[in-house]
Structure 1
Amino acid sequence: MIRIGYDAKRAFNNTSGLGNYSRFVISSMIRHNPDQQYLLFTPKVSSLFDQFYPSAPSVQVVRPVRGLQKKLASLWRVFGMQRTFLKHPVDIYHGLSNELPIGLTQNYPKTIVTIHDLIFLRFPELYKPLDRLIYRQKVKYACQHSNHIIAISEQTKADLISYFNVRSSHISVVYQDCDPAFHQKCTPAQLQQVKQQYRLPQQYVLSVGTLEQRKNQLLLLRAWHGQGLHHSTSIVFVGRRTPYAAQLEAFVQQHGLQQKVHFLPYIPFQELPAIFQLASLFVYPSLFEGFGIPIVEALNSGIPVISSTGSCFQEAGGPRSLYVAPGDTEALGKAMQQVLEDPALREQMISAGYAHALKFRPEHTAAQLQKLYEQVLLK
């Protein structure tokens, strides 16, 4: 019986991408390989996610319990794991968010790290110097000391080879799925309730993601308005605000679009699938991502997707989504108009997109992870 340890801090506490990925991996493995032991190491547990995984006697949550470990819980998962493994032994430890504990011996436990992206190196101007330094050191250490690396996309694998000179054979690409909530169609009653609650327009283009420069939402506004699409459709933004949001609001004010552009507040996760399914089109104009889970959420929701060329977007969106250079306002506007006005094209994109999304289902990725764990243990 394999004893698998996970860095579960973000699974139990983060609402965004790293948390979603961690919850996806842990719950998928427990569900599809219930005969193994799972130890989830976390300095704290949020009530939002204390039951995210299938209940099973094979699962144990491990937290710092006393003394200095408990007082310095945030450092425990970085510097205190070697001692913790003496009491809670594991065969393999999987760091789910770009880092591994410091000071582990090379072969006990065997270690795997998931690297999500190297955006801090590609777009250094978007990060504070100290943050860049910390991120770089964490990733460099993890690459040097892991028995194997998982990249969440071919793009991330290529960046690891380019920036850190990692051997290709040391990296495996394993994709992730979106939350299972997006696999289900909402009932008409659910759709109507969400539509009324958030006062959603009859026809809208949806964009989901933090309102920040890298996500490039201003391009979407300019393309939509420049193509004249504001006369027939609205835009709904869902995402955490940063100072960049002021630029979006300034554009809306300048062009008198307050009734056509909707910035939604925090959305309870269980209501998000309905917001996707009510949309006419999903646009993800980001400059660069590690993978792009909102694209997969849209494909599962049965709406066509337009995203950017380059990066990992075609990996997530598949061959029948549309891709536009992230600085080409006119091309994006024309692509949006084409999708909104051509029913045959919409149906082709929806059908092909859903078929593409099936490759990310947890039964496939859990099998890949299990095989990889077994291979690493045999080395």
Structure 2
Amino acid sequence: MPLVLVDLLFMTGTKGGMEQYVRSLYAAIAEKPGNLEFVALASSELAAGDTSWFPGTVIDSGISGENRMAWARGELFSVQRHAKRLGADLVHCPANLGPARRGVPLVLTLHDLLPFRHPEYVPGAYAHVLRLMLRLAARSAQRLVTSSVAARDDIVELLGIPAERIDIVPLAGYDNVAAPVTPENGRRLPRQILSVGNRMPHKNFPRLIESLLHIPEAERPLLVITGSHGDDPLAQVVAQFGLEKWVSLRGWLSAEELDELFDSSTLVVFPTLFEGFGLPPLEAMSRGCPALCSDIPVMHEVAGTAARYVDPYDPAAIGAEIARLLNSPAELDEMSRAGVARAAQFSWSRTADGVLKAFHTVLAR
């Protein structure tokens, strides 16, 4: 039975969307009949936590995913060393980075090329290091997996990888898609909007916060923003605009807490400036929550006609569209129905099928 070593050195419980991708993908793979054996090479943080979702053995690498230097060395050199020692037939690196040289055949999931397309959003010299590591991993891989046409096109343009070596495998929201909204059970919720993401600059939260100033106080909703660890840098932005009454910074939440927010929010706003895919709108739509997204190509790939779109660089336009939608209950109900239907076109089971197909393509060689 072919053995697949899965590189999970990056997983620490603090990495957001990429960790969600790995957990959801491998939980779905566990449900598939197949003839592959899986071993995870885990960070010390992951190995000490709950790994019941992984369909195989978990090895503690002794490497901290929070120690950038140790983690980078592990990605570049330790993964292939462990693969050879275990007699693995294939390596899967699911989070952009991987070995510097070819050895055991490699499938790399490359989510986006943010350090290439927008190095201004990556701090200091770290952008240069990431570009080097991304380029080495992509060139070492026999096959790449990415989640959107936009991301595939960036890989072809910026890394020179032939399109025929890249599989487009979309991600998914929640597989337990909400019941369709009907006139009898329309979303009559408090005026609360939700935005989800880390605090990297391209998530564009300061402009979203500023957009509230363009909504009259009598109509201004509560904006809930999640996703920060420790002291939230957005607190200074909120104070700068005097919006403490209207902004709730909730930090890092559990999946259950996030579910509750999707269910209790009138609208999810995703003002990102750059993404390889963009999970939050799809998660929102699968819960029946309407989504307002940045008007960038990849978000149209994800949300289609079910969402509404706005210029993410224009706080006044963001505020105006939020206010318009909150005053349009019939349109929100229609968006909710369309969003549930759109989300049903994606599933983690289909994502697992696509990734497994890439594995078997490489193994067949």
- Per the normalisation by structure 2, the TM-score is 0.86
**Mapping for residues 292-303 of structure 1, pairs under 5 Å:** 292-303=278-289
1:247 is aligned to 237
Q: Which runs of 5+ in 2 are unaligned?
A: 64-68, 180-188
2:60 is aligned to 63
Whole-angstrom distance in 2 between the partners of 1:318 and 1:213:
25
Structure possessing the higher relative contact order (Cα contacts under 8 Å, 6 or more residues apart):
2
The residue identity in structure 1 corresponding to 2:127 is: R
**C-alpha distance 230-276 of structure 1, shift in aligned 2 (>3 A):** farther
1:101 is aligned to 99
CA contact (8 A) 1:239 1:264 kept: yes
**C-alpha distance 273-98 of structure 1, shift in aligned 2 (>3 A):** same
**C-alpha distance 167-64 of structure 1, shift in aligned 2 (>3 A):** same
Q: What is the DSSP-based 3-state SS (H/G/I as helix, E as strand, rest coil) of the residue aligned with 2:340?
A: helix
Q: 1:282 deviation in Å?
A: 0.7
Q: 1:13 deviation in Å?
A: 4.1
CA contact (8 A) 1:10 1:22 kept: no
RMSD, aligned α-carbons? 2.6
Whole-angstrom distance in 2 between the partners of 1:139 and 1:266:
27
2:125 is aligned to 130
**Mapping for residues 36-47 of structure 1, pairs under 5 Å:** 36-46=36-46
Greater CA deviation, 335-344 or 287-296?
Answer: 335-344
Whole-angstrom distance in 2 between the partners of 1:157 and 1:7:
22
Q: What is the DSSP-based 3-state SS (H/G/I as helix, E as strand, rest coil) of the residue aligned with 1:360?
A: coil
**C-alpha distance 227-139 of structure 1, shift in aligned 2 (>3 A):** same
Whole-angstrom distance in 2 between the partners of 1:13 and 1:227:
36
The total of aligned residue pairs comes to 348
Q: 1:95 deviation in Å?
A: 0.7
Whole-angstrom distance in 2 between the partners of 1:343 and 1:262:
24
Q: Which runs of 5+ in 1 are unaligned?
A: 67-71, 186-200
2:159 is aligned to 164
Alignment partner of 2:330 out of 344, 348, 357: 344
Whole-angstrom distance in 2 between the partners of 1:230 and 1:2:
63
CA contact (8 A) 1:117 1:289 kept: yes
CA contact (8 A) 1:99 1:139 kept: yes
Structure 2 residue 53 is the aligned partner of structure 1 residue 53: yes
Q: 1:306 deviation in Å?
A: 0.5
Structure 2 residue 311 is the aligned partner of structure 1 residue 325: yes
**C-alpha distance 144-211 of structure 1, shift in aligned 2 (>3 A):** closer
Q: 1:9 deviation in Å?
A: 2.3
Whole-angstrom distance in 1 between the partners of 2:9 and 2:174:
18
Greater CA deviation, 357-366 or 121-130?
Answer: 121-130
Q: What is the DSSP-based 3-state SS (H/G/I as helix, E as strand, rest coil) of the residue aligned with 1:319?
A: helix
The residue identity in structure 1 corresponding to 2:237 is: Q
Q: What is the DSSP-based 3-state SS (H/G/I as helix, E as strand, rest coil) of the residue aligned with 1:18?
A: helix
Alignment partner of 1:376 out of 354, 362, 365: 362
Q: 1:302 deviation in Å?
A: 1.0
Whole-angstrom distance in 2 between the partners of 1:84 and 1:26:
20
Q: What is the DSSP-based 3-state SS (H/G/I as helix, E as strand, rest coil) of the residue aligned with 1:98?
A: coil
Whole-angstrom distance in 2 between the partners of 1:64 and 1:233:
47
Q: 1:40 deviation in Å?
A: 0.7
Structure 2 residue 277 is the aligned partner of structure 1 residue 291: yes
**C-alpha distance 228-5 of structure 1, shift in aligned 2 (>3 A):** same
